[in-house]
């Protein structure tokens, strides 16, 4: 096989593999993954329990075997270790991520990527006439899946945060903290600290339950508000995970300026974001797919270190350090800034 043939094979595989998340979505949304979590089962039994067509379900399961989420145990299908992550309530679960990104309707904004590349604007607003978070606020089912997807990622980041040499003390604000999975993890590991979770009504919908389940509800205030208008003061640390990448420089700057206005001279601001390398040989496809996802969904962007430094400087903040987090499968970093 010559180089061109090999490259053709690579591109063709890329196209066919792009349908795999749809198959995973079916395994999750038809309830097959949860049924298999109860134990190995025959295709006939699974079809009966899920109300599906056994011969077609067999074909779906056969694909699931080929991508390593299901295995065959004689005549019975069973979940592999990867397959267990399709279920709810397991550490590292990707169930909500699959429900979100494996769903054709959810991928609608990517179908309008050309619009975003031509204009620099978010395809979501172009298609639906409303912004991403406004849409979520009127679609509670989608909001629940989105919030839980973010929480699943945050739980993975918590462990990496524990390994950092940061002495969390005083009050920690999680700005745009959603259901509070990250803040709950930080507070659980730092009994001396208290928290303030700040988000919109839609973002906070699962916050009470999530903070209570982590046993930190009594040490955490929940405040509803708009981070483009103001951010609560009186905190020693301001944590923003995956907030800045949602927005273009103008909108991200508005949020950071609100944080800066509320910060005392010795307060710290921490961003958890992907940092796009300057070196093209270090480009990461996953990170750059997320970059374009931010573009089509919110006209947001992933940034390089110097872009972060410039954005922060324009908001009266000085970038002090960037520390890569050991978050499996996700190249995130913790960026620390202080008032300039």
Ligand X SMILES: C[S@@+](CC[C@H](N)C(=O)[O-])C[C@H]1O[C@@H](n2cnc3c(N)ncnc32)[C@H](O)[C@@H]1O
DSSP string across 21-32: HHHHHHHHHTTH
Q: Which is nearer to ligand X, 32 or 298 (CB)?
A: 298
What token pair was written down for 142?
């989608």
> Is 203 a binder of ligand X (CB under 6 A)?
yes
Sole binder of ligand X in the list 83, 102, 156, 177 (CB under 6 A)? 177
| Gap between the Cα atoms of 260 and 188, Å rounded | 26
Asked whether position 154 contacts ligand X by CB under 6 A, the answer is yes
Annotation says 242 is catalytic: no
Q: Does 246 bind ligand X (CB under 6 A)?
A: yes
The rounded distance, in Å, linking the Cα atoms of 298 and 246 is 6
Stretch that binds ligand X, among 9-17, 86-94, 187-195, 200-208 (CB under 6 A): 200-208
Instruction: Print the binding letters for residues 131-150 with ligand X: x by CB under 6 A, - otherwise.
Output: --x----------------x
Region near ligand X per CB under 6 A, out of 39-47, 51-59, 96-104, 173-181: 173-181
Query: Containing H/E element for 332?
Result: strand 332-339
Q: How many chain residues touch ligand X (CB under 6 A)?
A: 19
Q: How far is the CB of 195 from ligand X (least distance, A)?
A: 13
- Measured from the Cβ of residue 90, the count of other Cβ atoms closer than 10 Å reads 12
State both tokens at 56: 């077609």
What is the enclosing helix (H) or strand (E) of 168? none
Q: Residue 93, interface with ligand X (CB under 6 A)?
A: no
CA 56 – CA 144 distance, rounded (Å) = 30
Residues 206-245 that bind ligand X (CB under 6 A): 226-228, 241-243
Closest approach, Cβ 238 to ligand X, in A, equals 12
**Position with the least CB separation from ligand X:** 203
Nearest to 258 by CA among 235, 292, 289: 235
Write down the least CB distance from residue 1 to ligand X, Å: 43
CA distance 335 to 320: 8
Q: Which is nearer to ligand X, 182 or 337 (CB)?
A: 182
Q: Does 293 bind ligand X (CB under 6 A)?
A: no
Nearer to ligand X among residue 116 and residue 202 (C-beta): 202
- 43 versus 173: smaller Cβ distance to ligand X: 173
Report the residue number, 199 or 302, with the smaller CB distance to ligand X.
199
* Residue 246: count of CB within 10 angstroms of its CB: 19
Are the beta carbons of 31 and 72 closer than 8 angstroms? no
Q: How far apart are CA 294 and CA 329, in angstroms?
A: 19
- Report how far residue 124's alpha carbon sits from residue 121's, in angstroms, rounded to the nearest whole number: 9
Please give the sequence-ordered ranges of beta strands (E in DSSP) within 162-267, or none if there are none. Answer: 171-175, 194-199, 220-224, 237-241
Nearer CB in complex with ligand X: 7/226? 226
Of residues 53, 126, 242, 245, which has the active-site annotation?
245
Catalytic residue list:
245
Give the interface with ligand X as residue ranges (CB under 6 A): 133, 150-151, 154, 176-178, 182, 199-200, 202-203, 226-228, 241-243, 246
């Amino acid at each position: 096989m010559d180089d061109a043939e090999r490259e053709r094979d690579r591109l063709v595989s890329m196209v066919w593999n792009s349908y795999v998340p749809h198959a995973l979505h079916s395994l999750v949304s038809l309830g097959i993954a949860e049924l298999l979590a109860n134990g190995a089962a025959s295709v006939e039994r699974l079809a009966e329990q899920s109300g599906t067509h056994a011969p077609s379900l067999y074909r779906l399961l056969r694909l699931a075997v080929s991508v390593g989420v299901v295995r065959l145990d004689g005549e019975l299908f069973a979940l592999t270790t990867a397959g267990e992550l399709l279920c709810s309530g397991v550490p590292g679960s990707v169930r909500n991520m699959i429900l979100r990104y494996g769903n054709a309707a959810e991928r609608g904004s990517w179908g309008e990527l050309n619009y975003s590349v031509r204009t620099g604007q978010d395809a979501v607003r172009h298609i639906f006439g409303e912004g991403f978070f406004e849409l979520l606020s009127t679609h509670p089912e989608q909001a629940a899946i989105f919030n839980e997807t973010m929480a699943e990622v945050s739980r993975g980041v918590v462990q990496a945060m524990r390994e950092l040499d940061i002495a969390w003390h005083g009050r920690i604000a999680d700005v745009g903290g959603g259901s509070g999975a990250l803040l709950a993890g930080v507070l659980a590991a730092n009994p001396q600290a208290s928290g303030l979770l700040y988000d919109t009504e839609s973002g906070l919908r699962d916050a009470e339950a999530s903070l209570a389940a982590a046993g930190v509800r009594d040490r955490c205030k929940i405040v509803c508000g708009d981070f483009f208008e103001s951010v609560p003061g009186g905190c020693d640390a301001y944590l923003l995970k995956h907030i800045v990448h949602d927005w273009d420089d103008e909108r991200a700057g508005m949020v950071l300026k609100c944080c800066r206005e509320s910060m005392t001279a010795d307060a710290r601001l921490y961003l958890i974001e992907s940092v796009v390398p300057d070196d093209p040989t270090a480009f990461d496809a996953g990170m750059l797919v997320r970059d374009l996802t931010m573009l089509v969904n919110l006209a947001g962007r992933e940034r390089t270190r110097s872009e972060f430094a410039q954005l922060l400087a324009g908001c009266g903040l000085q970038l002090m350090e960037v520390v890569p987090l050991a978050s499996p499968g996700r190249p995130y970093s913790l960026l620390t800034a202080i008032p300039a």
